[in-house]
Amino acid sequence: MEKLKDATFVKRLSFGTGLYGFEFSSGGMPIYVLWSNKDTNVDFIVDASFKTVRIANIVTELGQSNPKVKAQAVRKGKVELKLTSNPIFLEPLLK
């Protein structure tokens, strides 16, 4: 939860049964925490000015100290995600 250390809670997100999310803000930029009850593919709508987002998985394995991180392009204001019961952190890379 280091990612949210200096972040401010903004709101709880409502986007489907069994899907969960919160929006935080840090340094004027949003940070989204998203997860699901079961493995689910979703299109998550982001600010249309975002070109790329950073997706970080929480650390879930013993001995792992850094999260798995990837950059993903935003297409038509949406990011295609696979959500699981393990939360992910999503934040813009470029605005």
Task: For residue range 5-31, list pLDDT tens digits in order.
Answer: 889 999 999 877 889 999 999 988 999
Q: State residue 94's pLDDT score.
A: 58
Give residue-wise pLDDT tens across range 37-51: 888 888 888 877 888
Give the residue among 20, 29, 82, 25 at the shortest CA–CA distance from 55.
82
In DSSP notation, 8-73 reads EEEEEE--STTEEEEEEEETTEEEEEEEESS-EEEEEE--TT--EEEEEEPP-STT--S--EEEEE
Give residue-wise pLDDT tens across range 64-88: 677 788 998 888 888 888 889 889 9
Which one-letter DSSP state was computed for residue 85? S
Burial class (CB in 10 A: 0-12, 13-18, 19+), 87: buried
